[in-house]
Amino acid sequence: MLNLVKGRYRVRVAESAADIAAAQRLRHLCFRGRDDGLDRDRFDPLCVHVLVEERAGERLVGCFRLLPLAGGSEIGRSYAAQFYNLAGLETFDGPMLELGRFCIHPEVRDADVLRVAWGAMTDYVDRSGTQMLFGCASFAGTDWRAHLDAFAMLRARHLGPVRWLPKIKAPTVVRFAQRLRRAPDAKKATLGMPPLLRTYLMMGGWVSDHAVVDPDLNTLHVFTGVEIGRIPPARKRLLRAVAG
């Protein structure tokens, strides 16, 4: 599981402390702007760490971590539960998977890295029987006004169902669903969406009605959920074609 070779890249699970440290170093570079440290937290020992490497030279170009949960009753163990009141999801009946710390080396501009990562994740989801994939999708910076069209698009088209919708927990949030009444510029909104969030949305994903301000990582993030059974069939076929 999670061992995929495609084109120039391979995806594999971290097998050693050195592998995990390499992922933490890349995370530090991507999230904190420097490669002279490790980005790590209390969730790392609980997670499956996944590496995306170039086959030639084995350079690490991307990574993410996965936290499997048996169902909604375990949602309080998740990273996202620090920032969102997820009581509505406690009744979700089925295996869940939290995707976190997804990053791609800032010098890499090849869209195949993201494509191969999602292919491997699709295989993991299929084999594990996961029924909901979720996580925190981040916008750069903490000024939400720099992302007005993207947030307007989220409000207009992608708010989550009321029964699952996270409630406010973090001390500083932006209630964009309440504050925004403008119609989004579709082109600006699409270009302004983080690639990870854009992929979630193409799979039928939904977001929280507020964004959390995270000064530690200098980001704004929204809770994002994807119910696997609601992914459009054509999108599933594309993902499985990469995974196959």
Burial of 155-192, coded b for 16+ CB within 10 Å and e otherwise, reads: beebbbeeebbbeebeeebbebbeebeeebeeeebeeb
Mean predicted lDDT score pLDDT of the chain: 96
Say if residues 110 and 117 touch (Cβ distance below 8 Å).
Answer: no
* 65-243 maps to CATH 3.40.630: yes
197: left (phi over 0), alpha (psi -120 to 50) or beta: alpha
Residue boundaries of the structural domains of the chain: 65-243
**pLDDT mean over 37-44:** 97
pLDDT tens profile 62-115: 999 999 999 999 999 999 999 999 999 999 999 999 999 999 999 999 999 999
Determine the Cα–Cα distance for residues 60 and 8; give it in Å rounded to an integer: 12
In the chain, DSSP finds a helix count (H) and a strand count (E) of 7, 12
- Which residues sit opposite 100 in a β-bridge? 65
pLDDT tens profile 191-244: 999 999 999 999 999 999 999 999 999 999 999 999 999 999 999 999 999 888
Determine the Cα–Cα distance for residues 40 and 49; give it in Å rounded to an integer: 12
Name the pTM for this structure: 0.96
Determine the Cα–Cα distance for residues 13 and 63; give it in Å rounded to an integer: 10
**pLDDT mean over 34-60:** 95
